[in-house]
Amino acid sequence: MICAGIDAGSRTIKVVLINAESKHILAKDITDQGIEQNKLALELFEKTLNENGLKKQDIAFVVATGYGRNAIDFADTTITEITCHGAGVHHIVPDAMTIIDIGGQDSKLLRLDEKGKVRDFVMNDRCAAGTGRFLEIVAQRLDVELDAIGEMAAKSKAPSPISSMCVVFAETEITGLLACGASRNDIAAGVQASIATRIAGMAGRRVTPPIVFTGGVALVPEMDKALKSALGHDVTISPDPQITGALGAAILAARKYNEENEENK
């Protein structure tokens, strides 16, 4: 039997299909988020099914998660992204104790117990500092593609200090650095260090390795090294970090489906 997870994030929508028994990933896909979230999610869901020779009736259970989860009206139920990211990472990295998830509009730090359940978490969803949006703004200001930020940071000899914890003021600070002749490479490295410092501040002193890094920002080169420097621990990038939430949703969908089957026996 097949179950599905849909992560309607702030910037992208992800779909993952898994075998309900083995939890093996059968298919996955991603598309940009937009105003008509339910329509976009349904189109992506149907596209994923069609490309894999499946129909809606082949899917036993669907769980929606993420920023726009309540807009997904074809899901059987919704579960918070905190719980889904915990389940997704635990499935991929069973010994993970800390999860850092940095997306387009928010950042989260989750602490897991030995069984992979979320023990507690902290979240930044009210300020763009510490999120992918900050990197996007910086990329625009430096007139480069987002992917280039990591490549530039890797070439830095002396990262520029970015002290402002607000994106608006940080952008002004970057303008000042450029006017003073700071290199774009050093500014890129400084921005990554600033985001990492923000995450470390959220974590406080309670960071237990292994630490797994997920979310779209995990795809930006050098960001894991900036986090390692700020946290003082190795940071592992989750395989295919953008789909972690959708994978967790699919795993929880399979769990709910199996539980319901047991109850009906």
Average pLDDT over residues 139-151: 91
Average pLDDT over residues 135-146: 90
| Two structure tokens written together for 239 | 């395989």
Size of the chain in residues: 265
All residues at 6 or more sequence positions from 252 whose CB lies less than 8 Å from its CB, including other chains: 5, 63, 79, 83, 84, 87
Average pLDDT over residues 9-23: 94
Residue 261 clears pLDDT 90, i.e. is over it: no
> Which carries the bigger pLDDT value, residue 128 or residue 85?
85
Distance CA 251, CA 8 (A): 16
The pLDDT confidence band at residue 3, using thresholds 50, 70 and 90, is very high
- Give me the residues paired with residue 110 across strands: 99, 121
pLDDT at residue number 165: 65
pLDDT at residue number 182: 94
pLDDT at residue number 167: 74
Residue 249 clears pLDDT 70, i.e. is over it: yes
The pLDDT confidence band at residue 153, using thresholds 50, 70 and 90, is very high
pLDDT at residue number 229: 95
pLDDT at residue number 171: 81
pLDDT at residue number 206: 76
pTM (2 d.p.): 0.92
Residue 265 clears pLDDT 70, i.e. is over it: no
pLDDT in tens, 220-242: 999 999 999 999 999 999 999 99
Which DSSP state fits 127?
-
pLDDT in tens, 110-132: 999 988 899 999 998 667 777 88
H-only helix segments in the chain: 37-51, 81-92, 132-142, 146-154, 167-179, 184-203, 223-231, 244-264
Closest by Cα among 36, 17, 37, 42 to 27: 17
Residue in the structure block whose two tokens are 């069609």: 50
Structural domains present in the chain: 1-93+240-265 (3.30.420.40), 96-237 (3.30.420.40)
Minimum mean pLDDT among 60-64, 171-175, 238-242: which range? 171-175
Spatial strand order of the sheet with 2-8 comes to 25-32, 12-19, 2-8, 59-65, 77-78
CA angle at 245 for the pair 243 and 247, rounded to the nearest 5° = 65
What percent of the chain shows pLDDT beyond 90?
76
